[in-house]
A and B are shown apart, each in its own frame.
Chain A
Amino acid sequence: MTRHWTRLRRSRLSRRSLLKASARAGVGAAGLALVGCGDDDDDQQSVAQAQQQDQDQQQAAQQQDQQQAMQQQAQQQQQAMQQQDDQAEQQAMQQEQQEQSAAEAQAQQEEEQAVADDNIDYNATAIGAYGAFPQILDQGSALARGGQSASNNYHFGAVFPLDPFGSAVPGGLAEWEFVGAEALIVRMNEGRTFHNGDAVTAEDIKFTIDRLTGKAEYNPEYNSAWTGELSWTGDNELVDENTLRIEQGAPSVDAANSLALGGFPVFPKNYLEEVGDDGYGQFPVATGSFKFVEWSPDEYIKSVRNDDYFNDREYAYAPRLPYLAGFEARLIPEIGARVSALEAGEVDLANSIPPDLAVPLGETGDYNVFYHPAQRGLHIKLPMTIEEDPYNPGQPNPWRDRRVRIAANLAVDVDAITQNIMTGRENYTYTLSSGQFGFPEELPEQRWGYDPEEAKRLLAEAGYEDGVETDLIYLAGLYTNDQLFMEAIAEMLREVGFIVNLIPEDISKFLGEARNKELTAPYLFPQSAGFTSIGSMAISVDSAATYEHRVEVLSDERAEVDRLIAEAKTEFDTERRKELLSDLVRIHYLEASWIFLFELVQTHVAASRLHWDPYFLQPPSVELWNLRSMKT
């Protein structure tokens, strides 16, 4: 199979090469044709006569030639200087022209934008088809994880807004102030209301945090989905009716960010206590840019624009007042049926469509294809902590040998996979989420490329000429084309000498084994890497609550890694934190602690009237508030 994928890749390259070659041939032919345009015989005769005259007068003219040469040299120097001046002038002019054209382009873009804004239909509604729905609509509950939260999270608004990088900024519902690493002070902004018209108060924020951390008096057993994100919180108290002081039980650089995460729910205390958890799960009242209207489980969720939303369309951060007047989410589990519904004009947006279906639709010109990173930096986690080889009792675990791990990285042609199986827009990942976090800038130069011969050599050097036997586990059907790309990876590993047994596994079994640290084979790690800040990455890599260190390093640098993680988690200076985590990423990558793969790209298809210019650099889903329906 490797040959199949690489052949495809080579075939593409060879086509490019052919194109280049034919282009070169074309230029060469043109040159020959131009030469051929002159009168060859006349030219040759003139040259011969000149040579004869030169020979006759050679001695007499030698001195004169030298003088002329000196004069020419001086002239050339003058000309060169003149040329330099001209070039400088030209460059200045070009720069000026470029600036002018850039300004013109910007003006044109702004003009087009203005025209486009005029074409936005603010009364339009849209219907989106989703593959799964949550079981209940309470965004705070772990029970709502049964479906795509994207089909519900737009009803909810966090405490703080986000900048395009996904970092929290003061504003929105409240302002913030850190009291060192001791506490976070939250001051409510005026005029913020829930969907039912009730004012959002500091008491509601307190209630929200209490509910999500299992401290709310009405139900301390509430099954929260946000305990991890709020693990930094200690006691919190109302300073006055507009101010809440949240003690940092465990000082966190990510405290403010955790209250700004997409879909973070702020609950109305009075309403929730009135309707209870069950009632809230069926009819949520929140602060999001869309208001919930009604739903039928397994069928639809209807919403309308929250016209009282406090962040207007000119607001600097997100989310903002939506363009669409209303939105209906429909549940269509089958992918082909979702596409058919779009083609039949029954829905305007088909979410999560595999690239092999989405791209041809986009090429028709009748649809817009939306791409965004799925915030999942895929990698294969290697069982490095096990001392003994599970397949050869008594023998050392081969994955503890760095050469074996490097060989595995060299064996996998990630680019061929992304080009031929995925969308081709996936980025190679050097860590959990390279896009949001970034990685040390020099790291791409040290990337483990595709080199099967070197992989074979390394395996032989490590004493595994006969191969390394291993299972390779993945969760079947969790990601787009996962079966395909995992088969390709398995085959690529086999080609260099790994004896791979590919095992698709069930999610419940897998998570149980991972949680109990019972996995003894390499596995495709299914962890979302939706970090909204550098700080959250520091927390995630050190999520010792359920899994081992996700960043595993065997060498002497383990202590250094622990130090970096610990320091990054408490470093409030963003730049310094980035440096710390860059060092962490570098150590981890160069240790080849995982088989590094790529960041998934999510693909959605929309009717041509729907336009989306992502606000976030890495949006977690289609930003519904930012979706525009153009007048037709």
Chain B
Amino acid sequence: MASHLIPRVLQSIAVVFVVITLVFIGSRLIGDPIEAYAARNATQEAIDAQRDRLGLSDPMIVQYGNFLLGVVQLDFGDSIFSERPAWDEVAPRLWATVQLSLAAFVLILVIGVPIGVLAAIRRGSIPDLIARMLALVGQAMPNFWLGLLLIFVFSVQLGWLPTSGRGGFENLIMPALTLAGFGAAAAMRLTRSGMLEVLSNDYIRTAQAKGLANRTVIVRHALRNALLGLVTVLGIMLAQLLAGSIIVEVVFAWPGVGRLIFRSISLRDFPVIQVGVLVIALWFVVINILIDISYNFLDPRIRVGGDA
């Protein structure tokens, strides 16, 4: 496994390097942060002084060198706006986003997969029809709209859940449900189609012919094989949840890293943008490695480092 993982890790480091380089270049293209925060009646001298202080007057290659040197030393620079270390801005919000993403991921698993299995084993029935309709609605409805709808029903009309903010468990329910909406629908459809494909295989008929309990056939033989294709998608979904939670964070006033990056982009707060994107890139890379590892456990035929 190690002989397989080491190249993968090295490959991932290269990916991260490319990503942060692109982010460095991209963030410099979106505008000048001094224009965003300088007092409107600031003199040109004052603006130039600020630019010098932040190192923005240096040639781009010098700025890039300083940036890479900082990354290697885990010094990502200070936020232009709060003047605090950029990592200190991202870190407290990172857990909030991870918490939200994990909760949404759990919902995707507990909603999408069982309903997908149910729809597959009762193909053509009313539950299947309902599941397919739910999947369609879940994928078609924009999540900001779903969020506002949930707020209206469960907070304004029923008064069961808080509208926004990050407090207790009850604050997590609606944002997680909103974030999970699209993913759960996608997981449901994938599980259903995967299960239908597996259920039509000979070995399933063999298992049934051997007199195995239906539950055993579905869980041990069908679902496990159907999940193999689903794992990659779910893994990418988990990574995307972290990066794609911005809208949900805005609607539910969830103090996460997505909103921070969004705001930092509008303010041209380069250091914070760079740290935020670096974290997301790392998250993607780690998830991908974990997916690779998980194959080994899900399918014994796959031998990591060997021939599949």
Q: Residues of A contacting B44 with CB < 8 Å?
A: 546
Q: Which of A83-91, A330-338, A393-401, A580-588 contacts B (4 or more CB under 8 A)?
A: A330-338
Task: For A345, give the chain B residue with the smallest CB separation.
Answer: B159
- Please report the number of residue pairs spanning A and B whose Cβ atoms sit closer than 8 angstroms: 133
Count, chain A residues at interface, CB 8 A:
45
- CB nearest to A145 among chain B residues: B37
Which of A224, A225, A346, A507 contacts B36 (CB under 8 A)?
A507
Contacts of B36 in A (CB 8 A): 507-508, 511
Instruction: State whether A334 and B263 are in contact (beta carbons under 8 Å apart), knowing that A340-B163, A343-B156 are contacts in the complex.
Output: no
Interface status of A543 (Cβ within 8 A of chain B): yes
Asked if B41 and A278 make an inter-chain contact with CB atoms under 8 angstroms apart, the answer reads: no
Determine the distance from Cα of A145 to Cα of B40 in the docked complex, in whole angstroms: 11
B166 touches A228 (CB 8 A): no
A227 in contact with B46 given A298-B255, A299-B165, A332-B253 (CB within 8 Å): yes
Q: Give chain A residues whose Cβ lies under 8 Å from the Cβ of B30.
A: 508
Q: A136-B83, A227-B46, A507-B36 are in contact. Are A336 and B253 (CB under 8 A)?
A: no
Q: Which B residues touch A527, using CB under 8 A?
A: 40
Q: Which residue of A lies closest to B256 (CB)?
A: A298
Are A297 and B255 in contact (CB-based, < 8 A)?
A: yes
Which residues on the A side are within 8 Å of B164 (C-beta)?
A: 330, 332, 337, 340-341, 346
**What are the residues of chain B within 8 A of A226 when measuring CB–CB?**
39
A226 to B46, CA, bound (A): 12
Known: A297-B255, A508-B31. A337 touches B41 (CB 8 A): no
Give Cα distance in the complex from A355 to B155, angstroms. 23
CB of B260 within 8 A of CB of A336, answer no
A143 interface residue, CB < 8 Å from B? yes
Alpha-carbon distance A330/B81, docked complex (angstroms): 20
> With the chains together, A171 CA to B42 CA distance in Å?
30
Bound Cα distance A545, B165 (Å): 42
Q: Does A223 contact B (CB under 8 A)?
A: yes
B148 & A337 in contact (Cβ 8 Å cutoff) = yes
Q: Contacts of A330 on B, CB cut-off 8 Å?
A: 164-165, 253
Chain A residue nearest in CB terms to B53:
A221
Interface membership of B35, Cβ < 8 A: yes
Cβ–Cβ contact B35 & A512, under 8 A: yes
Residues of A within 8 Å of B259, CB to CB, are 298, 333
* Bound-complex Cα distance A253 to B27 (A): 44
Are A146 and B81 in touch, CB under 8 angstroms? yes
- B251 proximal to A (CB < 8 A): yes
Cβ contacts under 8 Å, A224 to chain B: 39
Is B268 an interface position by the 8 A CB rule?
yes
Question: Are A142 and B260 neighbours in the complex by a CB distance under 8 Å?
Answer: no
Contact B83 A334 (CB under 8 A): no
Does B163 contact A341, Cβ atoms closer than 8 Å?
yes
Q: Complex Cα distance A346/B47, Å?
A: 42
Q: A344 to B40, Cβ gap below 8 A?
A: no
CB proximity to A under 8 Å, residues B139-156? 144, 147-148, 151-152, 155-156
Point out the residues of chain B lying under 8 angstroms from A346, CB to CB.
155, 162-164
When C-beta atoms are compared, the residue in chain B nearest to A147 turns out to be B263
In Å, the complex CA distance between A336 and B250 comes to 11
Interchain CB contact under 8 A, A277 and B83: yes
- Cβ contact within 8 Å between B37 and A333: no
For residue A512, which residues in chain B have a CB less than 8 angstroms away from its CB?
31-32, 35
Binary contact readout B238-259 vs A (1 if CB under 8 angstroms, 0 otherwise) = 0000000000001111010001
Instruction: Tell me whether B35 and A511 are in contact (CB under 8 A).
Output: yes
Q: Is the CB of A299 within 8 A of B50?
A: no
A262 within 8 A of B: no
User: CA A333 – CA B266 in complex, angstroms?
Assistant: 14
A508 / chain B contacts, CB cutoff of 8 Å: 30-33, 35-36, 268
A366 vs B103: C-alpha distance when bound (angstroms): 36
Bound Cα distance from A225 to B42, whole angstroms: 9
- Could you say which residues of chain A place their CB within 8 Å of the CB of B80? 143
Asked if residues A136 and B155 are in contact (CB atoms below 8 Å), the reply is: no
Question: Is B200 in contact with chain A by the CB < 8 A criterion?
Answer: no
Also in contact, A281 and B82, with CB within 8 A (given A337-B151, A346-B162): yes
For the complex, what is the distance from the CA of A341 to the CA of B161, rounded to whole Å? 11
Mark contacts of A350-371 with chain B using CB atoms, 8 A cut-off: 1 yes-contact digit, 0 otherwise.
0000000000000000000000
Instruction: Output the nearest chain A residue to B79 by Cβ-Cβ distance.
Output: A135
B93 close to chain A: CB less than 8 A: yes
**Bound-state Cα–Cα, A300 to B263, Å:** 17
Q: For residue B49, give the distance in angstroms from its CB to the closest CB of chain A.
A: 8
Across the two chains, which residue of chain A brings its CB closest to B148?
Answer: A336
Q: Is B267 close to A, CB under 8 A?
A: yes
In contact, B255 and A299 (Cβ under 8 angstroms): yes
Which residue of chain B is the closest to A136 with respect to CB atoms? Answer: B82
- Inside 8 A of A546's CB, which chain B residues have their CB? 40-44
Which of A146, A225, A296 contacts B39 (CB under 8 A)? A225
Q: A143 to B83, Cβ gap below 8 A?
A: yes
CB-nearest residue of chain A to B47? A515
Q: Complex Cα distance A278/B159, Å?
A: 40
Contact of B42 among A146, A228, A344 (CB under 8 A): A228
Q: Pick the contact of A340 from B39, B46, B152, B267 — CB < 8 Å?
A: B152
B31 adjacent to A331 (CB under 8 Å): no
A227 touches B83 (CB 8 A): no
In the assembled complex, the Cα of A340 lies from the Cα of B43 at a distance in Å of 43
State whether B156 touches A344 (Cβ < 8 A): yes
* A579 is an interface residue with CB less than 8 A from chain B: no
Evaluate whether A227 and B163 lie within 8 angstroms (CB atoms) in the complex, with A143-B83, A277-B83, A333-B250 already known: no
**Contact indicator A136/B81 (Cβ below 8 Å):** yes
Question: How far, in whole Å, are A300 and B164 apart by their CA atoms in the complex?
Answer: 12
Contact among B39, B159, B163 for A337, CB-based, below 8 A: B163
B-side contacts of A543, CB under 8 Å: 41
Nearest CB of chain B from residue A575's CB, rounded to whole Å:
27
The reply to whether the CB of B303 lies closer than 8 angstroms to some CB of chain A is: no
| From B40, B159, B267, residue with most partner A Cβ within 10 Å | B40
Closest to A141 in B: B83
The answer to whether B163 and A344 have CB atoms under 8 Å apart is yes
What are the residues of chain B within 8 A of A228 when measuring CB–CB?
39-42
| Cα of A277 to Cα of B81 in the assembled complex, Å | 13
Q: Give the residues in chain A near B47, CB-CB below 8 Å.
A: 515
Q: Which of B53, B147, B148, B165 is packed against the most chain A CB atoms within 10 Å? A: B165
> Would B41 and A298 count as touching, CB distance under 8 A?
no
Most A CB contacts (10 A, CB to CB) among B151, B250, B253 go to B253
| B38 CB–A CB distance under 8 Å | yes
Q: Is the CB of B253 within 8 A of A333?
A: yes
| B83–A281 touching, CB < 8 Å | yes
**Residues of B with C-beta under 8 A to A332:** 163-165, 253
Per the bound structure, the CA–CA distance linking A546 and B35 in Å amounts to: 11
Kindly report which residue of chain A lies nearest to residue B150, judged by CB atoms. Answer: A340
B253, A337: Cβ atoms closer than 8 Å: yes
Q: How far is the CA of A507 from the CA of B166 in the complex (A)?
A: 30
A508 to chain B, nearest CB (A): 4
In the complex, A4 has a CB within 8 A of chain B = no
Is B123 at the interface (CB under 8 A from chain A)?
no
- CB proximity to A under 8 Å, residues B53-99: 53, 79-84, 93
Name 5 extra pairs, CB < 8 A, besides A146-B263, A337-B251, A546-B41.
Answer: A135-B82, A146-B81, A278-B84, A509-B31, A511-B40
Instruction: Return the 10 tightest CB-CB contacts between A and B, nearest first.
Output: A228-B41, A508-B31, A298-B255, A135-B81, A341-B163, A512-B35, A332-B253, A344-B155, A340-B151, A343-B156
Q: Chain A residues in contact with chain B, CB under 8 A?
A: 135-136, 142-143, 145-146, 221, 223-228, 277-278, 281, 296-300, 330-334, 336-337, 340-341, 343-346, 506-509, 511-512, 515, 527, 543, 545-546
Could you give 9 example pairs across A and B, Cβ below 8 Å? A135-B79, A281-B82, A330-B165, A332-B253, A337-B251, A346-B162, A346-B163, A508-B31, A546-B43
Q: Which residues of B contact A (CB under 8 A)?
A: 30-33, 35-44, 46-47, 49-50, 53, 79-84, 93, 144, 147-148, 151-152, 155-156, 159, 162-166, 250-253, 255, 259-260, 263, 266-268
